[in-house]
Amino acid sequence: MRLGLKYLIAGWLLCFFFVPLKAQEEGTKYISPFDFSLKLSANFGELRSGHLHGGLDIKTEGVVGKAIHCVADGYVSRATVSYGGFGQALYITHPNGFTSVYGHISRFAPAVEKVVEAYQYKHETFQVDLRFEPNQINYKAGDIIAFSGNEGFSFGPHLHMELHADDGRLIDPMPYFKNYIVDTTPPRATGIKIYPQCGEGVVNGSRQDVIVPLKDLGHTIQAWGKIAFGLCANDYMDGTANNYGVKYVTLMMDTTEIFKSAVEEFTGADNRGINAWTDYKEHVQHNRWVMRSHILPGNKLPLLKAKERGIVTINEDKDYNFMYILEDGYGNKTTYRFTVHGLPQEIEPYTPEAECYLSWNQSNIVQEPGMELMIPRGMLYDDIALKCKVLRDSSAVSFTYQLHDEPVPMNGRCKLMIGVRHLPVADTAKYYIARKENGRIESVGGTYADGWVSTNISELGTYTIAIDTIGPKVTPRNRGKWSAGAISFHVSDKGTGVKNYRVTIDGKFALFGYNAKNAILSNKRPDKIKRGMKHEMVVSVTDHCGNETVQTYTF
């Protein structure tokens, strides 16, 4: 009896101390990062070009400089400073294994600021990615750790806040901050899109995709064969005019669940999958987000679940009743019902009109005279009947290659090589691969070797070789304020873009920050400019082809 009680107690202690991570997550308490009521400009998982939004964007009442409080006890594990992205970001690791991330901040609190600035001056660099030892800098919940800003690729003052699990997952912070945000407003749809499968289905007598606005959803849709669906929808919140991503979308056919998306967590590696979850062509050509309620065969995005990949078969002369259920993280729901009537009709077989057919589940090589594209297995989301066109110009550095007649994203970067037909510029570092789209030319990088320029691309499009021999343009701003240390420049490059820069004042490194969003290079330490004396400043800026612009100023 005593032995049994002993093991019972031991088992109870094991259950007590070895709580599953999920239970630890659910029991975690966080405080608000601000001392004012929270309103969001973006939520977790919101659809963005090429990625899912990884956190909450918290409004800062239209200004910068708001004190940011640590949401729980923890230690500083990382601090970053960059031209774009978060601009400046702070990472705090907590005892439960989670790390809270604070992005677009204007400045760190003094303890971190001192370490970051010392590194910048020692290594004479603006960009920083510093890792800290555990407990090197500790904060308690409520301590001021930074101040809000508009740095990096931020287009309005706000705090971007993320929660990372110790295995790298990005976790929706919303459940931990629900008490600080009011939301009684449900998601809303604007329409659906129906996708008859190539050679296997028709909708309203056509094999073309069909968009049905919300106002027409009550009309019966006629279809036959295999079809799939997509949804245009947003979430909304109380007290703001912003729209947000929908956390849960469920599609039912009669009483069967066909598809469900649940945006609760994901990893950075999942981001490219958004280009297959959404209708990429709709977004690129019409700036309209359509979330597919079906899964393309090469899409491995784990937040999507579907029966038969979400493709339904209409093969009886009857009504099929469908229902979309949209739900946010507060339990606010909206439902939309529509009917598809099975109408027997002939389905025209699909015969691809293309010389090159790419299979999603194998490696593919595309070759044209003077061009080779290697697409490893796992890079395509679906089969593609590739339509290539070679635009020949005997006077050009290379031919121009149209790789397909519509935009197609890939799941990663694939090697593209284009041959150089002649070398008008002796310095081969000046050659790069450019993408042509809607009259614009955009660099995708590249290096020259043995008569070829190669780079990695993540989307099918139109590509050629271009030359960049012109250095970046450096334009002084507000010279009347320079003596007070408020020194800034507009720095841009029309070719391959700004790669790096260096500023010295009186021969010594000066800490200048570059913001790629607005192309502004500015002095970060105006207090280091001695008043009442002349100074000599040298600004050098280099692009990705090695072209350098050097300018000297006195003030």
Q: Is the distance from CB of 47 to CB of 243 less than 8 angstroms? A: no
Please tell me the distance from the alpha carbon of residue 158 to that of residue 102, in angstroms, as a whole number: 10
Q: Which domains does the chain have, with CATH numbers?
A: 28-180 (2.70.70.10), 188-342 (no CATH), 356-467 (2.60.220.30), 473-554 (2.60.40)
Q: How far apart are CA 242 and CA 91, in angstroms?
A: 27
Kind plus residue range of the DSSP H or E element containing 33:
none
Angle at 253 between CA 252 and CA 257, to 5 degrees: 45
Yes or no: say if 490 and 484 are a contact pair by the CB < 8 Å rule: no
Of 199, 189, 248, 214, residue with least CA distance to 43? 248
Q: Token pair for residue 53?
A: 């939004």
- pTM value is 0.91
pLDDT at 463 (0 to 100):
98
Is there a contact between 217 and 231 (Cβ–Cβ < 8 Å)?
A: no
3-class SS letters over 303-332: CEEEHHHHCEEECCCCEEEEEEEEECCCCC
Residue 28's pLDDT is what?
A: 63
Q: CA 372, 376, 379 angle in degrees (round to 5)?
A: 110
Instruction: Note the Cα 493 to chain centre separation in Å.
Output: 24
Interatomic CA distance for residues 416 and 373, integer angstroms: 5
- Give bridge partners of residue 48 from the DSSP assignment: 51
- Reading the chain (555 residues) residue by residue, the pLDDT tens digits are 333 433 333 343 333 333 334 434 445 689 999 999 999 999 999 999 999 999 999 999 999 999 999 999 999 999 999 999 999 999 999 999 999 999 999 999 999 999 999 999 999 999 999 999 999 999 999 999 999 999 999 999 999 999 999 999 999 999 999 999 999 999 999 999 999 999 999 999 999 999 999 999 999 899 999 999 999 999 999 999 999 999 999 999 999 999 999 999 999 999 999 999 999 999 999 999 999 999 999 999 999 999 999 999 999 999 999 999 999 999 999 999 999 999 999 998 888 877 799 999 999 999 999 999 999 999 999 999 999 999 999 889 999 999 999 889 999 999 999 999 999 999 999 999 999 988 889 999 999 999 999 999 999 999 999 999 999 999 999 999 999 999 999 999 999 999 999 999 999 999 999 999 999 999 999 999 999 899 999 999 999 999 999 999 999
CB 246 within 8 A of CB 187: yes
Phi then psi for residue 432, to 5 deg, are -150, 165
Compute the distance between CA of residue 170 and CA of residue 268 in angstroms, rounded to an integer. Answer: 8
Q: Which residue has the tokens 């599953």?
A: 20
Rounded CA gap, 45 and 24, in Å? 23
Strand partners, 195: 228
Sign of the C-alpha dihedral, residues 242, 245, 247, 249? positive
pLDDT of residue 27: 52
- Residue 330: its pLDDT value, please? 97
Residue 122 falls in which region: left (phi positive, over 0), alpha (psi -120 to 50) or beta: alpha
